[in-house]
Amino acid sequence: MKTKLSFVLLAMSLLLPLAAHSQDVRMYNTVKTKLMEGRQVVGGTVDTADPDVYCAMANAGFDFIWIEMQHSPLNYTDVARMIWACRDAPAIPFVRVPNATEGDIQKATDMGALGIIVPMVDTAKKMEDAVKFAKYPPIGRRSQGGGQYGRLWGSDYRQTWNDNVMIVAMIETLEGTAAADEIAGVEGVDAVFVASGDLGSFSGKRQGDAEYEALVSRIKTETEAANKFVGGPSAWMTSREGYHFFQAPSVGSLIRIGARVTLEQADPCRFLPSGATPVAGENPCP
């Protein structure tokens, strides 16, 4: 009798997620819903642990925040505090993890990130691992444990997670470009991001060079063929067609831009040589 009861309970535990999935799933990842509606999304990059900075970015109008953990000293405690500090902000937290390891992805999701950005993707296997570690059974093998994710996204988080998480592969190398079709074709990958700077670094070519543009075109074409979204730097929003997922400049860059705009508005001649005219018809700069 005990064996039969155990079997029934096991069967129910496996069927519950499938039953929940068959119903209408509550969507709270607004980035994913905007993309599905055909809209573009832009994420501001944060690489500092100051919650005030994170909150300023998360409330500045970005669709998501690209929390940079690959090229920054941020640790998971820092990021958890930042996300919690602005848990009601409209920008959705995404994390670029250091690597597609089970530990990195488990911690990022437990903190409440709804997007996982995987850098340096050269093979489909890396993204298969990312999907496996990010999603709950029966699709993946993410385990249940502690974390603030439930308090952030609701008591039905377990039943809705597999539909709400967004997984992004970054292609940065020649090897990754050659395998773009296999990477984009991995079930569970939502978008492929063309890492413009590193693609130039690894290829030795500059934007505009025929060889460079051929690499970009191959990634984009293969991604679109797999019916996935294509991402790139925000500078490409108005210069290239077919891109939907963008990374905006970092906090430091935005501070420099904002400071320059403020200073120019206060003194139009501040950055102009003597004799130049700020606006046609006005007096020249002293």
The pLDDT of residue 140 is above 50: yes
Domain span including residue 99: 25-168+237-265
71: annotated active-site residue: yes
The pLDDT of residue 18 is above 70: no
Residue 49 in any domain: the answer is yes
Residues 142-174: pLDDT tens digits?
999 889 999 999 999 999 999 999 999 999 999
Mean pLDDT across the stretch 224-229?
98
The pLDDT of residue 19 is above 80: no
Residue 9 in any domain: the answer is no
Buried-exposed string 48-79: b where 16+ CB fall within 10 A, e elsewhere: bbebeebbbbbeeebbbbbbbbbebebebebb
Residue 11 in any domain: the answer is no
Q: Which of 9-18, 73-82, 88-97 is least confident?
A: 9-18
59-65-67-71 Cα dihedral, nearest 10 degrees:
-110
Residue 38 in any domain: the answer is yes
Residue 232 in any domain: the answer is no
Residue 274 in any domain: the answer is no
Instruction: Grade residue 111 by pLDDT with cuts at 50, 70 and 90.
Output: very high
What pLDDT does 23 receive? Answer: 57
Non-local (6+) Cβ contacts of 114 within 8 A are: 28, 29, 31, 32, 92, 93, 94, 153, 164, 165, 166
Instruction: Supply the CATH number for residue 91's domain.
Output: 3.20.20.60
The pLDDT of residue 62 is above 70: yes
Total tally of structural domains belonging to the chain? 1
Residue 142 in any domain: the answer is yes
The pLDDT of residue 272 is above 80: yes
Residue type, 142: R
Given the residues 71, 206, 260, 270, the one annotated as active site: 71
The pLDDT of residue 221 is above 50: yes
Residue 32 in any domain: the answer is yes
Model pTM score: 0.86
How many degrees, rounded to 5, is the angle at CA 176 between CA 197 and CA 124? 135
Q: Which residues pair with 245 in a beta bridge?
A: 41, 231
How many degrees, rounded to 5, is the angle at CA 235 between CA 231 and CA 239? 90
More confident call, 112 vs 21: 112
